[in-house]
Amino acid sequence: AQSVTQLGSHVSVSEGALVLLRCNYSSSVPPYLFWYVQYPNQGLQLLLKYTTGATLVKGINGFEAEFKKSETSFHLTKPSAHMSDAAEYFCAVSGSGGYQKVTFGIGTKLQVIP
């Protein structure tokens, strides 16, 4: 069994400020973790993923996330928000190996204030 909790369905930041979107997961097996972004009227696009190896993962558009097993967290960060970052962000978890269903979080809408 696995689940994802995204804290805060809406997050607002000022342009240039730090972006921090929180994700905690639960998994009975070693997890694979993902962050996806969804722009209005679009499908989801992969930002970054953690499978094995380095726990700090860098993705597209300056985003990164750190896998912390002890905290069961995979928070998404970006040092400086741009207006173009306004979108909805989804954290997802799957088990490692073979076919494992991916479970998505409910999503966090990021608003960037000029």
Partner 1 sequence: DAGVIQSPRHEVTEMGQEVTLRCKPISGHNSLFWYRQTMMRGLELLIYFNNNVPIDDSGMPEDRFSAKMPNASFSTLKIQPSEPRDSAVYFCASSPRGQGFWTEAFFGQGTRLTVV
List residues binding partner 1 (CB under 8 A).
32, 41-46, 49, 51, 90, 94, 96-102, 104-107
> Quick one: 17 or 64, whose CB is closer to partner 1?
64
> Quick one: 43 or 114, whose CB is closer to partner 1?
43
> Quick one: 20 or 106, whose CB is closer to partner 1?
106
Which parts of the chain are beta strand (E)? Answer: 2-7, 10-14, 19-27, 31-38, 44-50, 56-58, 64-68, 73-78, 87-95, 103-104, 108-113
CB of 16 to partner 1, least distance (A): 30
Backbone angles phi, psi at 35, to 5 degrees: -125, 130
CB of 44 to partner 1, least distance (A): 5
CA 13 – CA 51 distance, rounded (Å): 29
CB of 75 to partner 1, least distance (A): 19
